[in-house]
Amino acid sequence: MTGSGRPTALERLSQAGTLFTYLRTEFTGLDIAATTNRIEGGTNAQLRLILRAHRGMSEEHQKRAIEWYLYLHSETPDQPARLIRPKHCTPTRPAAQTAVEPPHGPEEYGNTATAEEGLWARKGWAGRT
């Protein structure tokens, strides 16, 4: 017990009978692992990899990514194409665009440099030859 009179976490687990269950005689022959390494190195590591690879996702998107991973690795997942409903995919068609024809005839006003106006590409340093 701690100085406050409350039992520690290890004491509570021991009293509940959930600590070191792999050592109990009634579980002999069941091949119960003494560690959670299979969970940490198998499933949880893959989930952490997904979250690390996609760090920019919002919390809600992270939850959906984990749910999706777990669903795809369940015993009998449906094909993703069968899960998509019309409400999930509503393709929008781009608005019909009319072709704009260039105007006929000479250009009235333009933004092109012309020699008549004294605007042309100069050579050398600041136009000096």
**Residue scoring higher pLDDT (79 or 3):** 79
pLDDT the model gives residue 2: 58
Q: What is the DSSP string of 30-52?
A: S---SSSHHIIIIIIHHHHHHHH
Q: Three-class SS of residue 125?
A: strand
pLDDT the model gives residue 127: 56
pLDDT the model gives residue 35: 65
The predicted-structure confidence for 65-91, as pLDDT tens digits, reads as follows: 999 888 888 888 888 778 777 665 666
Question: If you average pLDDT over residues 87-97, what whole number do you get?
Answer: 69
Q: What would the two tokens of residue 121 be? A: 């590409």
**Residue scoring higher pLDDT (129 or 99):** 99
- pLDDT over threshold 70, residue 120: no
**Residue scoring higher pLDDT (1 or 58):** 58
Q: What is the dihedral of CA 53, 55, 59, 61, to 10 degrees?
A: -50
**Residue scoring higher pLDDT (53 or 123):** 53
Query: What sign does the dihedral 97-98-103-104 (CA atoms) show?
Result: positive
Q: Are 52 and 71 in contact (CB under 8 A)?
A: no
pLDDT the model gives residue 61: 92
Q: Are 119 and 112 in contact (CB under 8 A)?
A: no
Q: Are 120 and 113 in contact (CB under 8 A)?
A: yes
The predicted-structure confidence for 7-54, as pLDDT tens digits, reads as follows: 788 888 878 877 777 677 777 777 766 666 666 667 788 888 889 998
pLDDT the model gives residue 30: 76
